[in-house]
Structure 1
Amino acid sequence: MWRFKLAVLCLVCLFVMPNQAQIQDLLTITVDGGYGGFYRPDHWTPLHVTIQNRGAGIQGRVIVRPETSAGGLSNAYSLPVDLPPQTGDDPAVFSDFLYVILDGGDATLRVEFLNEDDGVLISRDVTLRALAPRDALHVVLSESTNLSNPITLDNVHPAGYRGYTIYWQLNNLPDRSGGLDAVNTILFNDINTSDLDDADATFGAVGIQQIEQKAALRAWVLNGGHLIVTGGAAWELTANGLQDMLPFVPQSFQTAQDLTPMAHFAADYETELSGDYFLTVGEIIGDVLLTNAAGDPLIIRRGYGNGTVDYLTVDPNAAPLVNWRNRDKLWFTLATSTQARPNWSYGFSQWDQGTTAMEILPGVTLLPAVMTLIGFLAAYVLLIGPINYFILSRINRQGYAWVTIPFFIGIFSVLAFQLGFQIRGDRVILSRLSVIQTWQDSQQAHVHQLIGLLAPRRNNYTLSMDDGRTRDDEQNDPLGDTRMLRPVGQEVAVGSFVAARTPIEIQQGVSFTAVDFPVDASFIAGFSTNGALARPAIDGLVTVDLSQQETDAMLRLRGSVRNNTEFTLHDPVILARGVVLPLDTSLQPGEQIVFDTNNETSLISEPAVPVSMEYARDTDDVVMILSNMVPY
């Protein structure tokens, strides 16, 4: 018998193992991890995975999991892969983004390509280094060949922290806005962005990805990002795919002299930037921050949602700026003068309070009413006590109590179980808390959402963000919900009992899905989502008057808000800088409410206190930036 088993084992080694090795020889995998090898803890980190196949078609998934990775990974993240067979001399190529969240510390992630039987076909290790909490991360996209003095924003960072400049090409841009949340600034210089032009994008897989990259970039700016685009001789190619976000419509270029005003704008009063340069000219949409001596705009700015878009009509990689030793001060001045963001635009950060919010379930009662419990216990005591004794005494069978008491206990146990089952029900209950931001100049909104899943009984559950990305033929833009789903905290029971949570696999594709995660009965599994979605139909108009009363500056708000959705808005509140105005009535579908803070007695007014932001121009010079850094 043992000889037969040995023969079978030899056959496996001869045929199965070489076949597996041959498949691995036909596959190659590369991973561009994070942001030039960095990542920001507790933020989505993109892993750009590329697989080449020179053999038959293969289906499987790319996965990163805690048991095969070292450091900072609490959950598993996977991405479906469908590799076609090689055709001709060129290999079949799969290229997509896998997003992960790391908790902190340096991490080594193993990116594995598994077949349909979960066998590892090929893998690649990638090491990522964690950024400090307030380290600044800047991305430069440029095809410039200037290697002696490249554009760098390393000196733009809060005091006591560091700045990092990462160099990308267009294919490195993530296709979901959450993949850019860790980035402070993105700069486009001398690079062909035509592939990002929605009108020219094709409907193939590559074209759809380009559209999604453009949508992700737009959502990132709307949510508070700082986008810088430069002009000069390459103005047309650089602006092609970004035109709808720019504060300037470039039309041509001309030759000009003397850029010394730009040096003064950057607080460099010792340098004269003389000489000819190419100046982009066109139609101004935004606000002009700086002009040259002839009155031609040099820097135009536009507020876009919570973010800022700056357009430089000159090329910083061309003379005379390319040899300007204080060029980094220009980026510093631009970065520290952007508009302030409201507090709620940063999303959720206090997860303990978020868990408490998820436990609030109006109308859901997991325990019976007190009188029901008292009645149930009274019936139980009466039945196994006085009633049982009375009946057995009447028939002169007191010895049967050894049988009747266990029998009644069993009956009441079954009744108690059925009562609890009926109260708890068999439906999964979702508790959702959403902060949705909209802007007048965009049909896109941004959402931060907490989701609590209350389980009626212990089981494995699957939660999917069915975003349903579709194209709008008129806008040529992906619409719908693009939320990115992540587990948060631990499994929490109603009553604040906390249980440890096992790692959850987040499958990514058209939508994010938490797959087959266990939840105990009456426990709440917590999740968080963020991303872009279609703007809800709520609009209005407001006029702001700033009047001085003694030494206090008070905002006066007058306006109206209309609810064009199909839902009733309960307890609506008007928020502004230092002002909270609760409206006294619900806002019905199609209804409009007019408000004026001067006429409201329920107005809550709190003074807005400036918060200092420390930025360092270099290691020896710390500048306190106080202007327009007032929080909402």
Structure 2
Amino acid sequence: MIALFTLLGYISGFRARGGRAILRQISVTRQISGDDTAAVETFIGLYSPARERYTLRFGGDALLQPTDGGSGYKSVKTTSSAPTTIRFDEQNELQNLWTDVGTMATALAHDEVAVQPIELDLKLRPEGSGWRISGRIINNTGQTLNDAGLLAGDYGLELSRLRPGLTEIDQPMRQINTAPYNNTTIWGETYRQNGDIETQMNDQIIRSIFWNDYRGPSSSGSMSRGQVSSAVSLVGWQGEESPALPFDVLNHTVTREASGLRIVVAQLAGE
């Protein structure tokens, strides 16, 4: 069903855009609370209306890796005369990334970048049969994080939108399923809106990268009332303003769309 929604979205997008390939990128930014540098992984999904090969050129010292195509798509056939290769130089290139009709080519790039810090100063204390989280979050990015939430062990708190500046927190957490990292945890409430083609297309890229037992950014395993998680993670979505690894598509014109998932990890202590 997801693949069907995605394919329909791609076909309509192809018609609306006059036959251009669609390049969708999701950048996952992982940083420690208060740090001004972060590890960024940019996941790339390339939907093309025809069999074609593309070369992506990255700046800096980005590490590059082609990956298996999106979930629900047939494999992209390559050719021995023009295999997919990685060229490391002053500008690293992913060469001969092949697409075909009804397929999606995917790739992954990784590097560290300078970012505006987000500061978490949070504590957990037992409340009833669960936990209560309190403290403050300082969002210095100047951007709103959408579908934001806090994760600690198997407990979570939905924040909806986290606006720039100071946010005070003092709320109970509820038990959620973070192992494995499920679709609602990744995409928030938006995932339940099956008509949201953009979310469904993004989901294909995530599925092609994350392995089945990926547990997400919070502490692994369950957290009972007598156990305190050692870390809390803030998770939220940004649009095109999200930190990303810049790259060019050589000799082709594509329609580019971008979003970003921000993960900020902080140590905390129970009371």
Which residue is 1:462 aligned to?
Answer: 55
Select the residue among 528, 531, 534 that pairs with 2:108: 528
Which residue is 1:575 aligned to?
Answer: 151
Q: Distance in 1 between matches of 2:97 and 2:7?
A: 26
Q: Is the 8 A contact 1:462 1:516 kept in 2?
A: yes
Q: In the alignment, does 2:10 pair up with 1:366?
A: yes
List aligned pairs for 1:178-577, cutoff 5 A: 365-368=9-12, 422-423=15-16, 425-440=18-33, 442-467=35-60, 482-489=61-68, 491-492=69-70, 496-502=73-79, 503-535=83-115, 537-547=116-126, 549=128, 554-565=130-141, 567-577=143-153
SS in 1 for 2:146: coil
Q: Is the 8 A contact 1:539 1:563 kept in 2?
A: yes
Indicate how the Cα distance of structure 1 residues 423 and 440 shifts in structure 2: closer, same or farther if over 3 A, else same.
Answer: closer
Select the residue among 599, 604, 608 that pairs with 2:175: 604
Superimposed CA distance per residue, residues 588-617 of structure 1 (whole angstroms, 9 cap, x where no aligned partner): 4x354333233x6xx33579647xxxxxxx
SS in 1 for 2:147: coil
Superimposed CA distance per residue, residues 236-272 of structure 1 (whole angstroms, 9 cap, x where no aligned partner): xxxxxxxxxxxxxxxxxxxxxxxxxxxxxxxxxxxxx
Q: Distance in 2 between matches of 1:559 and 1:363?
A: 44
Indicate how the Cα distance of structure 1 residues 531 and 438 shifts in structure 2: closer, same or farther if over 3 A, else same.
Answer: same
Q: Distance in 2 between matches of 1:591 and 1:630?
A: 25
Letter in 2 for 1:496: Y
Indicate how the Cα distance of structure 1 residues 608 and 485 shifts in structure 2: closer, same or farther if over 3 A, else same.
Answer: closer
- 1:514 Cα deviation after fit: 0.8
Q: Distance in 2 between matches of 1:421 and 1:558?
A: 47
Superimposed CA distance per residue, residues 54-105 of structure 1 (whole angstroms, 9 cap, x where no aligned partner): xxxxxxxxxxxxxxxxxxxxxxxxxxxxxxxxxxxxxxxxxxxxxxxxxxxx
What is the RMSD of the two structures over their aligned residues, measured on CA atoms?
4.1
Q: Is the 8 A contact 1:462 1:514 kept in 2?
A: yes
Q: Is the 8 A contact 1:366 1:522 kept in 2?
A: no
Q: Distance in 2 between matches of 1:363 and 1:592?
A: 41
Superimposed CA distance per residue, residues 281-310 of structure 1 (whole angstroms, 9 cap, x where no aligned partner): xxxxxxxxxxxxxxxxxxxxxxxxxxxxxx
- 1:571 Cα deviation after fit: 0.8
Q: Distance in 2 between matches of 1:562 and 1:362?
A: 36
- 1:362 Cα deviation after fit: 8.2
List aligned pairs for 1:589-600, cutoff 5 A: 590-598=164-172
Determine which structure has greater relative contact order: mean sequence separation of CA pairs < 8 Å that are 6+ residues apart, divided by chain length.
2
Segments of 5+ residues of structure 2 without an aligned counterpart are 178-218, 223-227, 233-271
Letter in 2 for 1:529: A
- 1:522 Cα deviation after fit: 4.6
Indicate how the Cα distance of structure 1 residues 523 and 586 shifts in structure 2: closer, same or farther if over 3 A, else same.
Answer: same
Q: Is the 8 A contact 1:540 1:559 kept in 2?
A: no
Indicate how the Cα distance of structure 1 residues 461 and 540 shifts in structure 2: closer, same or farther if over 3 A, else same.
Answer: same
Q: Distance in 2 between matches of 1:445 and 1:421?
A: 34
- 1:572 Cα deviation after fit: 1.0
Considering only CA atoms, is the larger Rg found in Structure 1 or Structure 2?
A: 1
Q: Is the 8 A contact 2:43 2:106 kept in 1?
A: yes
Indicate how the Cα distance of structure 1 residues 575 and 567 shifts in structure 2: closer, same or farther if over 3 A, else same.
Answer: same
SS in 1 for 2:49: coil
Q: Distance in 2 between matches of 1:592 and 1:441?
A: 14
Superimposed CA distance per residue, residues 99-125 of structure 1 (whole angstroms, 9 cap, x where no aligned partner): xxxxxxxxxxxxxxxxxxxxxxxxxxx
- 1:563 Cα deviation after fit: 3.7
Q: Distance in 1 between matches of 2:134 and 2:108?
A: 35
TM-score, with normalisation over the residues of structure 2?
A: 0.53
Which residue is 2:201 aligned to?
Answer: none
* Percent of residue pairs identical: 23
- 1:525 Cα deviation after fit: 0.7
Q: Is the 8 A contact 1:609 1:631 kept in 2?
A: no
Q: Distance in 2 between matches of 1:367 and 1:608?
A: 39
Q: Distance in 1 between matches of 2:85 and 2:151?
A: 38
SS in 2 for 1:497: coil
Letter in 2 for 1:517: L
Q: Is the 8 A contact 2:77 2:98 kept in 1?
A: no
Q: Distance in 2 between matches of 1:563 and 1:442?
A: 12
Q: Distance in 2 between matches of 1:629 and 1:556?
A: 12
Letter in 2 for 1:515: Q
Q: Is the 8 A contact 1:483 1:530 kept in 2?
A: yes
Q: Distance in 1 between matches of 2:18 and 2:27?
A: 26
Indicate how the Cα distance of structure 1 residues 556 and 629 shifts in structure 2: closer, same or farther if over 3 A, else same.
Answer: closer
Superimposed CA distance per residue, residues 155-209 of structure 1 (whole angstroms, 9 cap, x where no aligned partner): xxxxxxxxxxxxxxxxxxxxxxxxxxxxxxxxxxxxxxxxxxxxxxxxxxxxxxx
Q: Is the 8 A contact 2:34 2:120 kept in 1?
A: no
Which structure shows the higher helix fraction? 1
Q: Distance in 1 between matches of 2:5 and 2:48?
A: 13
SS in 2 for 1:529: strand
Superimposed CA distance per residue, residues 451-496 of structure 1 (whole angstroms, 9 cap, x where no aligned partner): 11122333221112223xxxxxxxxxxxxxx43110011x45x852
Indicate how the Cα distance of structure 1 residues 425 and 566 shifts in structure 2: closer, same or farther if over 3 A, else same.
Answer: farther
Q: Distance in 2 between matches of 1:360 and 1:499?
A: 18
Q: Is the 8 A contact 1:448 1:531 kept in 2?
A: yes
TM-score, with normalisation over the residues of structure 1?
A: 0.25
Q: Distance in 2 between matches of 1:428 and 1:438?
A: 32
Q: Distance in 1 between matches of 2:5 and 2:167?
A: 29
Indicate how the Cα distance of structure 1 residues 366 and 449 shifts in structure 2: closer, same or farther if over 3 A, else same.
Answer: closer
